[in-house]
């Protein structure tokens, strides 16, 4: 092809047909430009296809990871913390009625169950961190991108922070009081210890803070997180189906 065009150019030059040569040269330039534009468009399409495939991969990884964490971490934490809350309410009822047909062992068992450590929320952040390092703009759907950022960048960190604050507060405030006044391995309480639980203002206040601020607050944060994660999973699946159909 190159030899063909070269022969035409040499023919026009040898015949001194300048106007035809110039027209030919212009046409040749146009063909080169068109070729460049086509090559650029092909490269652009190839780049877009690569980004599309990468976006689908990340969306699938987020959907898979978040689905697992919802079932095994978030819902698990809600169930565990709700049980703690119910145990506290039952404990208050029993302590207030003691000693009328209420077992000391029952009260002790309830204390051990609801004063235990909070659920350690362990959400897999690896996929989101990798997406952030790559550039979250890879997610082309603006609304979906904002949903992902809200869940991973705001709601999950707040729930984890609440969890750690609760645990630290227990070790600094609640457990020292209980350790100073009760012997856990005896698996029972004395009459004096139950009277102490009913009357000591500091202990009552610390137990109240544990239950009504940290436990109830944790339940609220976890439910807010769950209410955002469930529709996000639905939107992730819809977007994956949409992108795979392109």
Query: pLDDT digit string (tens) for 5-30?
Result: 455 555 544 555 555 545 555 555 66
Query: CB neighbours (10 Å) of residue 74?
Result: 22
What's the mean pLDDT in 84-113? 82
Provide the pLDDT for residue 15: 53
What's the mean pLDDT in 65-74? 97
pTM for the full model? 0.79
Judged against a pLDDT cut of 50, whether residue 142 lies above it is answered with yes
Provide the pLDDT for residue 230: 98
Helix 191-199 with 201-208: angle, nearest 10 deg: 70
pLDDT digits (tens, 9 = 90+) for 208-237: 999 999 999 999 999 999 999 999 999 999
DSSP string of 84-104, one letter each residue: HHHHHHHHHHHHHHTTSS--H
3-state SS assignment for residue 73: helix
How far, in Å, CA of 84 to CA of 87, rounded? 5
pLDDT digits (tens, 9 = 90+) for 104-124: 778 888 888 888 788 999 999
């Amino acid at each position: 092809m190159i030899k063909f065009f070269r022969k035409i150019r040499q023919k026009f030059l040898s015949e001194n047909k300048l106007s035809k040569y110039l027209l030919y040269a212009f046409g040749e330039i146009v063909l080169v430009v068109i070729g460049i534009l086509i090559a650029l468009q092909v490269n652009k399409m190839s780049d877009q296809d690569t980004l599309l495939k990468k976006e689908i991969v990340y969306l699938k990884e987020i959907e898979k990871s978040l689905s697992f964490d919802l079932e095994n971490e978030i819902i698990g934490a809600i169930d565990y913390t709700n049980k703690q809350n119910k145990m506290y309410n039952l404990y208050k009822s029993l302590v207030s009625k003691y000693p009328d047909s209420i077992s000391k062992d029952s009260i002790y068992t309830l204390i051990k169950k609801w004063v235990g450590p909070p659920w350690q929320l362990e959400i897999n952040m690896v996929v989101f961190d990798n997406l952030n390092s790559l550039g979250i703009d890879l997610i082309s759907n603006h609304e979906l991108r904002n949903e992902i950022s809200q869940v991973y960048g705001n709601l999950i960190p707040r729930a984890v922070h609440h969890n750690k604050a609760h645990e630290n507060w227990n070790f600094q405030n609640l457990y020292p009081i209980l350790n100073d006044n009760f012997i856990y391995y005896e698996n029972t309480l004395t009459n004096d210890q139950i009277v102490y639980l009913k009357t000591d203002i500091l202990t009552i206040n610390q137990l109240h803070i544990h239950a009504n601020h940290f436990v109830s607050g944790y339940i609220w944060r976890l439910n807010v997180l769950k209410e955002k994660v469930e529709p996000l999973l639905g939107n992730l699946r819809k977007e994956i189906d949409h992108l795979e159909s392109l």
